[in-house]
Structure 1
Amino acid sequence: MASRRPEDLRTFVVGCIEAAGGVVEFPEYGLAEALLPDSAAPTFGGRPFLRIAFDPEVARERPDAELAVYGSEFLDRLVSQATQSGLATVRYLHVDRLEVTRPAERLTEQFQFVNCRPSLDYSAIRGFSYLLFHFKLVYLTDEREETFHSVLVNLNTNRPVEDAERFLHTAIPAPSRPIVCPEGPACSVPAAYRTACVFLKRQADRTFRAKQEESRRQLETDLRRIDAYYNDLREETERRMERSGDPDRADALRHRIQAYEVERERRKKELEDKYSLRLQVRLTSAALYAQPKIIHFVRVTHRDRWFPVQFVWDPLLKTFEPPLCDLCGEELRTIAFDKNGQIACWGKGPKT
């Protein structure tokens, strides 16, 4: 996808300001307030405090706010600055409360345990990370349309975060790592990048197909107009040939008809090139978000057998991350055992 979604624009603007060392808050819908360090103020017109409106209506009500919409002067300046600054950054996230109260109850509330029961074994604090990839997409025909799309990947699961906006608006950067602890499991950066590209392609394909269909309709309309124009010319010239009694004149008109056909094909080829849609994608920057989480090591017991399952508590979003199926890689929200005494693979359908 990539479409001109307002949440993608907000993510990009907030990311640029936080990368410069600033802090962003949203006091009301469509309006952000940014506090900038002295080192970053020159980038934003020398002002240490900035109001940013993400909607023209909000900008009209707040004349002191910078309008951040696609095509605005403020966004153009921000994009220019972002392309000249560092392409990667690390942000440590502040967590108010790390522990989860009544973890056993929270597990049974969030997950369904069928023909089995969970029991907490022990827990451990580990460091986990997310990678936020910022992409620039350019749709090209005879015109140029630019848009931005951000993809957040959980390095623990190597899956894109669907509700990335909620995570990014909840995340509060800390000046340094708040808790020093061992690192939890994580996929490699290239693997996360491939995941982000697959997710981006799925999103961008929808927009691309929609734009391609619009271009196809416009092309068909213009081709019909071209054919009608040259058909009229041909018919008129043929009538003049029939009325002409001069063989040389008739031959000249015949050559004119041939020239019309050559010109028709040339103009149709020009139209096809004009409406040919192309997409260019470029990774502009990336940000690593590091935060502590708690791994709960849980025994899931079925009759006389038990299996260890790890549930990761996210103190920022106040939820357990679903574990992944070892067979299909899909999230497990229902834990059950099949007839062979193995945890059922719900991604392929529960075994009976």
Structure 2
Amino acid sequence: MATLGSEPPAHQSPLEEFVREYVETIGGAWDEVEPQVYDVLLPVGEASSPSAAEVLRMAFDPEALPEHSGAQLASFGTPLIDRLLNDAVQRGRYAQFYFLGLNLAPHDLAARVRRAITLAPNLELRVERVRPLFFAQAVFWFQITFVSDQKEHEILPLAMDLHYGRPVRHLEKLLDFSRLTEHPPQPLPEARRLSLAAAYPLARAEVIRILAPLANTRERDLRERLDRQAARMARYYADLGSELDEQEHRARGGEEARERLAARREAIDREQRLRLAELRQKNTLRVQLHLLNLLVIQQPKLLATCGIALSDPRTPARPPGRLELVWDPLLESLEAAPCPACGRPSFAFGLTRTGGAVCPTCAGKAGGR
């Protein structure tokens, strides 16, 4: 987006670069009055602008403030920059892109679909209709924080197919940013999908399953370290106790000396219990999980509506089954379809007596083939 000023100089601070790009992104404009001094126009109704059409003079150099009495200092930690950073973070939590450059007319698709699907004997599959649709893929970036005596962060991305509600394994191919655009390359309807609110618990459960081994490894390391530290602490306080025993053996001060030694022993025991409790608390692992960012990628795929019927006319007739299959042009392969009865993904299907297309296990239970 064009600005009011000239082109940015070759050398500028990261903060200056951030402010320029931020202002242009939200539809504002900037004008460089002099090096490191800007007039900035923030659009009406933006979260970064508390009033309508705010115009600010910003100085990135503190020495420029005396010459520009109305300017605000722009540096990390100032209310102005904190406000812009917070707004930029909020804007960056969600985005949507469209995938480009996919072949939506593959050669002999019907034959490739038939080869990918295994049917029970005496059944045949016919591809009746193929439609290109946008299939939403949601990429969740979770931040995992492991807290004990120190704090560690892990960023774990997870992609979910919102049509089937299951994880996507080819995340790297999906995040090919050279093939993503903000605008749809062609007007396609969107396939049936889960809402983001419904997909989030599924993604979170999958992340918890993935991070469980990481947490178990850290917890085991902490437990081993706790055992070593507790043993070292026990030896230290045992030595203190031995010294008290020697002092008590040599004591000649009568009852008063023995009372002082007993009080000292009680203080040492109390300190040992306190230090051991602190040590256990420091070596207790806590895991925190929260969502950082969310990206929805609308990827074109082909939805094939298929019929499954008996191939042998001598077999007693039964209603034909219907099955929707999805061809992924990014992977150039057919996706496993969920069984309508049990929900498990499958490439093999049979036919019930009432004409339902189900996986072989469910077909056997229903007395079909």
Equivalent residue number for residue 312 of structure 1: 326
Secondary structure, aligned partner of 1:287: strand
Contact 2:162–2:199, Cα closer than 8 Å, also in 1: yes
For 2:216 and 2:195, locate their aligned partners in 1 and report how far apart those are by CA, in whole Å.
Answer: 32
Larger-Rg structure: 2
Letter aligned with residue 109 of structure 2? P
Equivalent residue number for residue 138 of structure 2: 131
Deviation at 1:287, TM superposition (A): 0.9
Contact 1:83–1:284, Cα closer than 8 Å, also in 2: no
Deviation at 1:262, TM superposition (A): 0.4
Equivalent residue number for residue 248 of structure 1: 256
Equivalent residue number for residue 296 of structure 1: 304
Deviation at 1:237, TM superposition (A): 1.1
Across the aligned residues of Structure 1 and Structure 2, the Cα RMSD in angstroms comes to: 2.9
Contact 1:298–1:311, Cα closer than 8 Å, also in 2: yes
Deviation at 1:222, TM superposition (A): 0.6
1:102 aligns with 2:108: yes
User: Which residues of 2 match residues 272-291 of structure 1 at below 5 A?
Assistant: 272-291=280-299
Contact 1:156–1:184, Cα closer than 8 Å, also in 2: yes
Equivalent residue number for residue 323 of structure 1: 337
Contact 2:145–2:152, Cα closer than 8 Å, also in 1: yes
Higher relative contact order (CA 8 A, sep 6+): 1
Structure 2, unpaired ranges of 5+: 1-15, 22-84
User: Which residues of 2 match residues 181-196 of structure 1 at below 5 A?
Assistant: 181-196=188-203
Distance 1:214 1:149, change over 3 A: same
Equivalent residue number for residue 154 of structure 1: 161
For 2:99 and 2:87, locate their aligned partners in 1 and report how far apart those are by CA, in whole Å.
Answer: 24
Contact 2:350–2:363, Cα closer than 8 Å, also in 1: no
Distance 1:281 1:346, change over 3 A: farther
For 2:364 and 2:269, locate their aligned partners in 1 and report how far apart those are by CA, in whole Å.
Answer: 64
For 1:82 and 1:94, locate their aligned partners in 2 and report how far apart those are by CA, in whole Å.
Answer: 27
Q: Deviations over 1:35-83 (max 9, x none)?
A: xxxxxx934999xxxxxxxxxxxxxxxxxxxxxxxxxxxxxxxx99973
Deviation at 1:345, TM superposition (A): 4.2
Deviation at 1:136, TM superposition (A): 1.4
User: Which residues of 2 match residues 1-352 of structure 1 at below 5 A?
Assistant: 42-43=17-18, 83=89, 85-115=91-121, 116-169=123-176, 172-245=179-252, 246-302=254-310, 304-305=317-318, 306-337=320-351, 342-345=356-359, 351=365
Distance 1:307 1:226, change over 3 A: same
Secondary structure, aligned partner of 2:337: coil
Letter aligned with residue 304 of structure 2? H
Deviation at 1:112, TM superposition (A): 2.2
Give me the TM-score of the superposition, normalised by structure 2. 0.69
Which deviates the most, 167-176 or 108-117? 167-176
For 1:113 and 1:155, locate their aligned partners in 2 and report how far apart those are by CA, in whole Å.
Answer: 27
Deviation at 1:314, TM superposition (A): 1.5
Secondary structure, aligned partner of 2:300: strand
Query: Number of aligned pairs?
Result: 281
For 2:107 and 2:86, locate their aligned partners in 1 and report how far apart those are by CA, in whole Å.
Answer: 46
Give me the TM-score of the superposition, normalised by structure 1. 0.72
For 1:292 and 1:313, locate their aligned partners in 2 and report how far apart those are by CA, in whole Å.
Answer: 10
